[in-house]
Amino acid sequence: MRPLKSPSWFTRFAKGTARAAGKPLVFGLAVAVILLWALTGPLFRFSDTWQLVINTGTTIVTFLMVFLIQNTQNRDGEAIQVKLDELIRAIEGAHNALLALEDLEEQDLDRIRAIIRGSRPRRAPSSTTSWARRAT
């Protein structure tokens, strides 16, 4: 199945930036920038402006990367959720109550987790007694 529409420019940019930021080369470049900045300290007599350059640069990069990485994580999380939902739907006897767990409150998730951990190995689905009914 193909995607319904092509990704927006922001999605492509966020995905590409997040992917590139995790590469060893980019890490090496970041270390090189910091080393270059540190080596120029004596040249600028470790002035306030010299310190402000690295502080401002790292703050801006961090601020922007938070949004790009969050966008990528949100999209990846949604994609995984859709895949898991499809697996649950495809398995005969699976409990459909698991399909929307991400929409529940934390205490509801804790209750369902306790029920699942306390349940015995699954037998053939029962028509009247299912853990899914107990969880609701």
Residue 135: how many other CB atoms lie within 10 Å: 19
Q: Which helix (H) or strand (E) holds 50?
A: helix 48-90
* pLDDT recorded at residue 34: 95
Burial of 87 (0-12, 13-18, 19+ CB in 10 A): exposed
DSSP 44: T
User: Stretch 119-123: mean pLDDT, rounded?
Assistant: 55
Contact call for residues 68 and 14 (beta carbons, < 8 A): yes
Angle at Cα 84 formed by Cα 111 and Cα 21, nearest 5°? 105
Indicate if the pLDDT at residue 61 is higher than 50.
yes
pLDDT at residue 136, rounded to an integer: 54
Residue 110, H or E segment: helix 106-118
The per-residue pLDDT for 50 is 94
Which carries the bigger pLDDT value, residue 108 or residue 4? 108
pLDDT at 28: 96
Cβ-contact 101, 89 below 8 angstroms: no
Residue 114 CB neighbours (<10 A): 11
Domain extents for the chain?
9-94, 95-120+130-136
Question: Which DSSP symbol is given to 124?
Answer: S
| pLDDT 10s digits, 20-60 | 988 999 999 999 999 999 999 999 999 999 999 999 999 99
